[in-house]
Structure 1
Amino acid sequence: MGVIQNRINAFIKLGVFLEQFSQKKIEKKENIAHNDLFFDGFKHQLKIAGENNKWFTNENLLFAIESWTKALSEENIQKWIANENLGTNTSKQVAVIMAGNIPLVGFHDFLSVLISGHSALVKQSSNDKNLLPFLGKYLEYVEPELKGKITFTEEKLSGFDAVIATGSNNTARYFEYYFKNKPSIIRKSRNSVAVLTGEETKEDFENLSDDVFRYFGLGCRSVSKLFVPRNYDFESFFKGMYNKHEIINNAKYANNYDYNKTVYLMSEFDILENGFLMIKEDESYTSPIASIFYEYYDTTEDLKIKLSEEKEKIQCIVARNFIENEIAFGQTQHPELWDYADGVNTLTFLSEI
């Protein structure tokens, strides 16, 4: 456990370092390892990340960092790894192909590989390439044993023993073919849904607005679809969404809203909208930016069967007292370390390669 404890300690120190960067303020604190070397540099990387990707607003960048600050406590890490058999097999080279839809979206895989005692060969998305290499360098400083265990590449991947790859449904087909002879976790695109019954409170809908609008709805944990009883009245839903009406002041979001609204109107689709969000009846799970799809259900039993049959398309189900493993309104963007993407336990996979 000694070697693993060193790695745990490195990530705890990283969490303490990240604590200086919050939505309330960015403030340099005393007695943080290597702070003089890294604080200003990370502040600069945040600025560059926002300039390179206009979806990465300061608020969303700092929200993502706050989430990791909370996750990287000793208590959380120990709870996460408690039942796993880590570090008993030989250290392997694990390729990690990351998405770039939200800030630091690949960090959980990166953390999992290193905590498990393996080396990480990371291929980042061009949409999110600034933050992680800097944090990797910080980890090497606080735990020299990690030097040589972290490699970032833009070249074709080679010399790896296993792979964790996240992408779209199209890239997943390519990954499955390309990595067919290696142990792998290959994630396709998923979306999250909310089940409404008509019993929701004003607070529920305001909380749900976080699930819909955080990261502009670009995350797989973002709610992009509603299931509602037949003849559902959307008035309370729209009132709750108004909580986030200022999102339309973001130029990139506003452009998408205008474009998608034009497409819908030209196609003569029946939509409801409130000036910054459109809703449209549609069986698909993936809605365009600034819109959310909905589908009617007749009985909760029918809906449970449908959700079970289509579980490969769904990341989270937001509901109250409806289904096992549901997520409370407003909580989709607060996953724990043990809330695995696509329900696949990364640590178990890494302990068995």
Structure 2
Amino acid sequence: MTLTETKKALTQLGKFLHQFKNGHTFQDENVLNNSEYFTRFSELITQSQSHNGWFTPDQVYFAVEQWAEALTDRNLDAWLAPYNIETVEPKTVALVLAGNIPLVGFHDFLSVLITGHNVLVKLSSNDNYLLPFLANYLISVQPGFAKRITFTDGKLEGFDAVIATGSNNTARYFEYYFKQKPNIIRKNRNSVAVLSGNETKEELTALGEDIFRYYGLGCRNVSKLFVPEGYDFKDFFEAIFAYADVIEYEKYANNYDYNKAVFLMSNFKILDNGFLTLKEDTGYASPISSVFYEYYTDLETVKQRLQAENELIQCVVSRKEIGNTVAFGQTQKPALSDYADNVDTIAFLSTL
């Protein structure tokens, strides 16, 4: 397959996904193979919550909409412009995928295919329906993908390189097991917001999206706030009230009740608005339904700390210039060139 054929198939996938929007899904008769795949995918979105309780239709629709927007000719061309991938010799790249949020491994899957390699995928049991369905749709559009895409439930064998995502514990296993192969091993990361106290209500409300999207389960979710000494959380709590209905979801509510009880029994001082707790803590990885916060007196000190601990950080949300910051409300809307862990996946794949 040529790069042009691959891109054409991916843009067709983008057009297919564009039909699925939360509350206003529509069927476009011009989309290829729609008669076979449209209803099945709509049903799969609805059924996803039975496969993974955190994958509510709202969350799956959101993930699908982001990929629909990304998979256009213009976006693919802009993404690939800095690279020379026309002469890449095809290899087999194994992917060990996470399953914390819907389609979390799709970027790696896409990157392998668009660089001309074959992909061998080991799915997480928490997200093992959506990606195979989209792979089947791609094959229906471009049959050449059939020989390039393989899913396996067993031991990974016959691969030339690997991209594996997991916890810090599983990363140690990955590093040992895959040490003889070119690899990218991803570990736990968290995202933070650095506030000045001068944010608008609109910015703080948008920050709520960064906190609550996917119920806070993604590495791009903000789990820690840096705030200036004397910061009054009143405006923050008022701005994020728009997300109060998150507590109506049972799995989230159970986590809220449990983690709040643990904090109180441990005599930790917390701030609470009925659906989110704030705990002063130097760590980054807060539990579901909670966000850590830390006061600062000097912004430069925060910058230096985030630079020194960059291997723990995925995104930084701020209106201040603190490295490569992300705008409020945009952490879960990465561009194709926003690589996980700041590791250029296309550069890695194009030099195998």
TM-score computed with the length of structure 2 as normaliser: 0.98
CA distance, structure 1, for counterparts of residue 348 and residue 177 of structure 2:
19
CA distance, structure 1, for counterparts of residue 80 and residue 39 of structure 2:
32
Aligned to 1:5: 4
Using the TM superposition, give the Cα deviation of residue 310 of structure 1 relative to its aligned residue in structure 2, in angstroms.
Answer: 0.6
SS of 1:321's equivalent in the other structure is coil
Q: What amino acid is aligned across from residue 91 of structure 1 in structure 2?
A: P
SS of 1:96's equivalent in the other structure is strand
CA distance, structure 2, for counterparts of residue 324 and residue 168 of structure 1:
25
Aligned to 2:80: 81
Using the TM superposition, give the Cα deviation of residue 90 of structure 1 relative to its aligned residue in structure 2, in angstroms.
Answer: 1.7
CA distance, structure 1, for counterparts of residue 197 and residue 42 of structure 2:
45
Aligned to 1:269: 268
Aligned to 2:123: 124
Matching of residue 331 in structure 1 with residue 344 in structure 2: no
Aligned to 1:222: 221
Aligned to 2:52: 53
Deviations 1:151-207 (A, max 9, x none): 111101111000001111111111000000000011101010000111111111101
Aligned to 2:110: 111
Using the TM superposition, give the Cα deviation of residue 317 of structure 1 relative to its aligned residue in structure 2, in angstroms.
Answer: 0.3
**Greater shift in the superposed pair: 129-138 or 18-27:** 18-27
SS of 1:47's equivalent in the other structure is helix
SS of 1:224's equivalent in the other structure is strand
CA distance, structure 2, for counterparts of residue 258 and residue 169 of structure 1:
27
Query: Matches of residues 1-353 of structure 1 in structure 2 within 5 Å?
Result: 3-353=2-352
Q: What amino acid is aligned across from residue 231 of structure 2 in structure 1?
A: Y
SS of 1:21's equivalent in the other structure is coil
Q: What amino acid is aligned across from residue 27 of structure 1 in structure 2?
A: F
Using the TM superposition, give the Cα deviation of residue 324 of structure 1 relative to its aligned residue in structure 2, in angstroms.
Answer: 2.7
**Greater shift in the superposed pair: 251-260 or 83-92:** 83-92
SS of 1:308's equivalent in the other structure is helix
Using the TM superposition, give the Cα deviation of residue 313 of structure 1 relative to its aligned residue in structure 2, in angstroms.
Answer: 0.4
SS of 2:39's equivalent in the other structure is helix
- Residues 211 and 333 of structure 1 are in contact (CA less than 8 Å); yes or no, is this contact kept in structure 2? yes
Deviations 1:73-124 (A, max 9, x none): 1000000011112141321110001110100000000000000100110011
CA distance, structure 2, for counterparts of residue 322 and residue 234 of structure 1:
22
CA distance, structure 2, for counterparts of residue 47 and residue 157 of structure 1:
31
- Residues 221 and 316 of structure 1 are in contact (CA less than 8 Å); yes or no, is this contact kept in structure 2? yes
Deviations 1:35-78 (A, max 9, x none): 11111111222223221111111111000000000000100000
Using the TM superposition, give the Cα deviation of residue 322 of structure 1 relative to its aligned residue in structure 2, in angstroms.
Answer: 2.5
SS of 2:2's equivalent in the other structure is helix
Q: What amino acid is aligned across from residue 144 of structure 2 in structure 1?
A: E
CA distance, structure 2, for counterparts of residue 48 and residue 123 of structure 1:
21
CA distance, structure 2, for counterparts of residue 347 and residue 178 of structure 1:
23
SS of 1:347's equivalent in the other structure is helix
CA distance, structure 1, for counterparts of residue 86 and residue 218 of structure 2:
31
Q: What amino acid is aligned across from residue 324 of structure 1 in structure 2?
A: G
- Residues 87 and 351 of structure 1 are in contact (CA less than 8 Å); yes or no, is this contact kept in structure 2? no
- List gaps (5 residues or longer) in structure 1: none
CA distance, structure 1, for counterparts of residue 344 and residue 169 of structure 2:
23
Q: What amino acid is aligned across from residue 12 of structure 2 in structure 1?
A: K
- Residues 50 and 57 of structure 1 are in contact (CA less than 8 Å); yes or no, is this contact kept in structure 2? yes
SS of 1:76's equivalent in the other structure is helix
- Residues 192 and 314 of structure 1 are in contact (CA less than 8 Å); yes or no, is this contact kept in structure 2? yes
CA distance, structure 1, for counterparts of residue 202 and residue 190 of structure 2:
23
Q: How many equivalent residue pairs?
A: 352
Deviations 1:242-298 (A, max 9, x none): 110000000000000000011111111100100000000111100000000001111
**Greater shift in the superposed pair: 167-176 or 48-57:** 48-57
* Large movers: runs of 4+ above 6 Å: none
TM-score computed with the length of structure 1 as normaliser: 0.98
Using the TM superposition, give the Cα deviation of residue 14 of structure 1 relative to its aligned residue in structure 2, in angstroms.
Answer: 0.2
- Residues 96 and 122 of structure 2 are in contact (CA less than 8 Å); yes or no, is this contact kept in structure 1? yes
CA distance, structure 1, for counterparts of residue 33 and residue 313 of structure 2:
41
CA distance, structure 2, for counterparts of residue 96 and residue 276 of structure 1:
36
- Residues 163 and 185 of structure 2 are in contact (CA less than 8 Å); yes or no, is this contact kept in structure 1? yes
Q: What amino acid is aligned across from residue 166 of structure 1 in structure 2?
A: T
